[in-house]
Amino acid sequence: MEAKDIVKKGYECFGKGDMEGLMSLIHDDIEWTFPGKEGVHPLSGIHKGKENYVKALSKIPGIWSNFHVKPDWMISEGNKVFVKVDASADGMENTIFGHYHEVQDGKLIKFITFDDTLSMANAMKK
């Protein structure tokens, strides 16, 4: 599978709530960078390894109600994929995210989010 196909499958699994399928695409040494000072935003920081990735990802339902991401388009070059993502949650509509991915050995190994953190903060559960 090409890098773009792996990334696309990851969004499909996440969208269906298929965490087992998503985890099958994640490299054990994944590194997820969510920009910002750790502790300021619930997801900020560098989450290294599959266990920490899952731990960070599992926070989402407790922070945003009805959180969804849908890839709009992807640009792929070799093992690198950039995705323009349409995001939504209760109180967060028409929000645009940018996601950068790298694939190694057929698995997602690097993920950097360029998300609209102000829209995310405004939509957080109180």
pLDDT of residue 73: 98
Structural domains in the chain (count): 1
pLDDT value for 96: 96
41 has pLDDT over 90: no
Whether the CA torsion 102, 119, 50, 58 is positive or negative: it is negative
Could you tell me the pLDDT band of residue 25, with boundaries at 50, 70 and 90? very high
CA triple 7-8-13, angle to 5 deg: 95
State residue 118's pLDDT score: 85
pLDDT tens digits along 81-114: 999 999 999 999 889 999 999 999 999 999 999 9
Instruction: Provide the domain limits for residue 100.
Output: 3-123
Computed over every residue of the chain, the mean pLDDT equals 94
Higher pLDDT, 55 or 39: 55
Pairwise pLDDT comparison (125 vs 103), residue with the higher score = 103
Here the CATH number for the domain that contains residue 94 is 3.10.450.50
Q: What would the mean pLDDT of 15-32 be, rounded to a whole number?
A: 96
pLDDT value for 124: 87
Mean pLDDT of 60-83: 96
